[in-house]
A and B are shown apart, each in its own frame.
Chain A
Amino acid sequence: MIPIDLILDIASWALIILGGAGVVVGAVGIVRFPDFYTRLHAAGITDTAGAELILLAMILQAPNWLVVAKLVFIGFFLFMTSPVSTHAIAHAAWVVGLRPMLGADLKREGEEQ
């Protein structure tokens, strides 16, 4: 019989590694993608996969259900607020007049290349 703690620890580690990988991949994407709007998408990985998987790993390690409830609230509020901040940034750039690079050749509208 495998102890339940061991199973929880293994599951937590797997989720922490996956979530950490999500955060790192998001950061790599922010550096590598070519323009402002595409970089926002990379930040989205950190916002969703990274944060939620790490929270899930922490839920598995919680000592009592009150801590579980608090972690669920954190996840819920992140879920609700991160798209609002992403939209605020994207909309600010759009209103100021920054146009995205479009198409497979990554050309900006009206740009000679």
Chain B
Amino acid sequence: MVRTIVLTLALAGLWLLLSGYFDKPLLLGFGAASVALCVWLAHRAGVLDFEGVPTGLMPRVFLYWWWLFVEIGKANFIVAREAIAIEPKLSPKLLRVVSPTKTNAGLATFANSITLTPGTVTVDLEPGYMVVHALTEALADEAAIRDMGRRVAALENGGAS
């Protein structure tokens, strides 16, 4: 029930902000109808669960994104320096990272965070671990990646579901 309400509010907010109509009853009615149709379809398709509407992650995930933003900035700087260096000192490396996350939404968040950070790309997901390709020795920092995993796992535990 909570997920239905959250999805309805999110879709209504998206519709209002993208359209910019606040005082045209006919158009607002169409908007409400399309939001209702989307929620009904999501309900019918059975995607109103932890993966479809991860309310458990929600309040803390914004803090996490801010932290991720700063990390991405730092990593960008290192990769950019290699890209324009006269003699790039690359030493690519494959890492096996064990994910501490328990849910699929958490695993996807972790794997995407690694890929989003320049210098590391999640190449493969195997049961129990993921294969990460890193650009240089400095970027292949397993402790930092595990720290990121701990943060994602903490997000999961924060929510009731």
Query: A residues touching B (Cβ–Cβ < 8 Å)?
Result: 22, 25-26, 28-29, 32-35, 37-38, 40-42, 44-45, 47-49, 66, 69-70, 73, 79-80, 82-84, 86-87, 90-91, 94-95, 100-104, 106
Contact = CB atoms under 8 A, between A and B. Distances in A.
B124 A91 contact: yes
A33 B18 contact: no
Interface size on B, as a range, is 35 or more
A23 B143 CA distance: 29
B124 A38 contact: no
Contacts of A47: 116, 118
A45 B119 CA distance: 9
B136 to A, nearest CB: 9
B92 A49 contact: no
A25 to B, nearest CB: 5
B73 A37 contact: no
A11 to B, nearest CB: 17
B133 A84 contact: no
Given A48-B118, A101-B92, A102-B92, A32 B83 contact: yes
Contacts of A41: 79, 118-121, 135
B88 interface: yes
A40 B121 contact: yes
B112 interface: yes
Contact of B80 (A22, A38, A94, A102): A22
A73 B14 contact: yes
B121 A70 contact: no
B72 interface: yes
A91 B123 contact: yes
A104 B89 contact: yes
B79 A87 contact: no
Given A29-B79, A37-B123, A84-B112, A49 B73 contact: yes
Contacts of A101: 92
Contacts of A38: 90, 92, 135
B138 interface: no
A44 B118 contact: yes
A84 to B, nearest CB: 7
20 contacts: A22-B76, A26-B83, A28-B83, A29-B82, A32-B88, A35-B92, A37-B92, A38-B90, A38-B92, A42-B79, A48-B116, A49-B76, A86-B121, A87-B112, A91-B123, A94-B123, A100-B92, A100-B133, A102-B93, A104-B90
